[in-house]
Amino acid sequence: MTILDAQDVSFAYGDDLVLDGVTFSLDAGEFVALVGPNGSGKSTLLRVLLGLLRPTAGQVRVFGEDPRQLHDRWRLGYVPQRPALAREVPASVQEVVAAGRLARTGWRGRMGPADRIAIDHALEAVALRDLRDRPVSELSGGQQQRSFIAKALASEPELLVLDEPVAGVDAESQKRFADSLTHLVDEHGAGVLLVSHELGSVVHALDRVIVLKKKILFDGPPSELSGTGVTLGVGQAHLPLWLEGLG
């Protein structure tokens, strides 16, 4: 089942055309990476897909609906790049993750056994169960990011969108992150759209890689992209260089 569909999407800031006729779809149970050099339009495309920007042309459908009018928002999970958490907010890891569950149950609803199980499951998926009572502000950068991934997982989204979630995060946290995403896809049948320069930890699990540079230059399995001489497990400093040569 197609859960995300972009058809001939274009977007411009004034006279500056950032996206030009972008068309792709993502199915339930599919793990897709979106890559491109700096300034390729990735962040703008994400904002259009999430309903934060209206496309200049074309249309986007999430679960068959306009993302700006999506009824069950919990079905769409989003993890931005290194979310900021005010140091004066004494929220524990469990409280942050539980807030994600409330996106599904509603702020007025009381949490039941199923909700607590989902929260425990999310904490376990990112290996933070032993730190559940620790203030998030006291965690390392990688642990903080895993807590926000767990927050998104707690709502049991059917589509999870992540924007550079492991930029600057240590290797062990990247592995935990990759395991949590494959768990969401394999065990829950969710779709995942990952924007990242660092694909080394997840390349083995990807179904497709989409290369964006205003237009889509490539959309296919990692093996086909690797066949062109591209090495996907490279660092952020190198990735834009080979992307510049595509198309």
Taking only the tens place, the pLDDT of each residue in 21-48 is 999 999 999 999 999 888 889 999 999 9
Q: Report d(CA 143, CA 134) in Å as an integer.
A: 11
| 68 token code pair | 């700006």
Q: Are 156 and 73 in contact (CB under 8 A)?
A: no
pLDDT at 123 over 50: yes
**Whether the predicted pLDDT of 109 surpasses 70:** no
Per-residue pLDDT band at 237 (split at 50, 70, 90): very low
Residues of the domain holding 229: 2-244
How much is the mean pLDDT over the chain? 85
Is the pLDDT score of 102 beyond 60? yes
Average pLDDT over residues 215-228: 85
pLDDT at 193: 96
For the domain that residue 16 is a member of, what is the CATH number?
3.40.50.300
- Between CA 86 and CA 91 the distance in angstroms is 10
pLDDT: is 232 or 209 the higher one? Answer: 209
DSSP 92: B
Please compute, for residue 141, the number of CA atoms within 13 A of its CA located in the half-sphere on the CB side: 10
Residues 6 or more apart in contact with residue 62 via CB below 8 angstroms: 3, 4, 5, 49, 51, 70, 75, 76, 159
User: In which element (H, E) is residue 115 found?
Assistant: helix 113-125
How much is the pLDDT for 148?
A: 86
Total domains in the chain come to: 1
Please enumerate in sequence order all residues whose Cβ is within 8 A of that of 25, keeping only pairs 6 or more positions apart, or say none: 2, 4, 5, 6
CA distance 45 to 43: 5
Q: Note the pLDDT tens digit of each residue in 4-18.
A: 999 999 999 999 999
pLDDT of 235 > 50? The answer is no
The predicted-structure confidence for 169-188, as pLDDT tens digits, reads as follows: 667 767 777 887 888 888 88
Sheet of 159-163: strand order equals 76-79, 159-163, 191-195, 31-35, 208-213, 215-220
pLDDT in tens, 40-78: 899 999 999 999 999 999 999 999 999 999 988 889 999
